């Protein structure tokens, strides 16, 4: 049986990318397997863990729930797209400085979720950070250092 392929064009981390894909290909697999952007992790395949979170037109989405064809014509930002001109994004710096990771598996999704959170609320309380990150499951850190990392990034982004 032959599968009809579809051409998709997305702007990924500021670069326009075009590829032929199967209509059922998930965005997470497009990013990892077609584009080689392996920072976006596949965790649970059920949209529970948040490890695959990316920004789609600036909004956090779990890329295991979006088809690549649904992202056609849109802009996607992955964890690889956060750093600019060799400088870490404040959220990346925060995770480094405040030890917001242990095994690192959930880290890309947590960072992308935090970027959207800080765009919506540049001065969140600890409780607002915890609530904003509730779609990301971390089994290592207990979240305290992740909250500290997000607060650090918020302070840096506010100047």
CATH code for position 146: 1.10.150.120
Coil vs helix vs strand at 80? helix
The domain tally of the chain equals 2
For residue 22, what are the domain limits? 6-81
**pLDDT for the residue numbered 2:** 67
Q: Are residues 75 and 18 in the same domain?
A: yes
Token pair in block for residue 151: 């607060």
pLDDT above 70: percentage of residues in the chain: 99
- The answer to whether the beta carbons of residues 89 and 156 sit under 8 Å apart is no
Q: What is the mean pLDDT of residues 57-70?
A: 97
The torsion angles phi and psi of 18, rounded to 5 degrees, stand at -125, 135
The pLDDT of residue 94: 97
Q: Taking the model in full, what pTM does it have?
A: 0.94
The answer on 131 and 77 residing in a single domain is no
- If pLDDT is split at 50, 70 and 90, which confidence band does 139 have? confident
Nearest CA among 57, 59, 64, 60 for reference residue 10:
57
pLDDT number for residue 1: 63
Q: Is residue 99, in this structure, part of any structural domain at all?
A: yes
pLDDT, average across residues 142-149: 92
Residues 46 and 99 in one domain: no
């Amino acid at each position: 049986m032959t599968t009809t392929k579809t051409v998709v064009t997305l702007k990924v981390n500021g670069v326009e990318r075009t590829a032929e894909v199967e209509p059922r290909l998930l965005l997470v697999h497009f990013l990892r397997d077609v584009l080689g952007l392996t920072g976006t992790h596949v965790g649970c395949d059920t949209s529970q863990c948040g490890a695959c979170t990316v920004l789609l037109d600036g909004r956090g989405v779990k890329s295991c729930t979006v088809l690549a064809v649904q992202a056609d014509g849109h802009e996607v930002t992955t964890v690889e797209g956060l750093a600019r001109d060799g400088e870490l994004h404040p959220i990346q710096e925060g995770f480094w400085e405040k030890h917001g990771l242990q095994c690192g598996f959930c880290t890309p999704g947590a960072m992308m979720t935090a970027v959207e959170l800080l765009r919506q609320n540049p001065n969140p309380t600890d409780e607002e950070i915890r609530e904003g990150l509730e779609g990301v499951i971390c089994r290592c850190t207990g979240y305290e250092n992740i909250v500290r990392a997000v607060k650090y990034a918020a302070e840096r982004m506010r100047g």
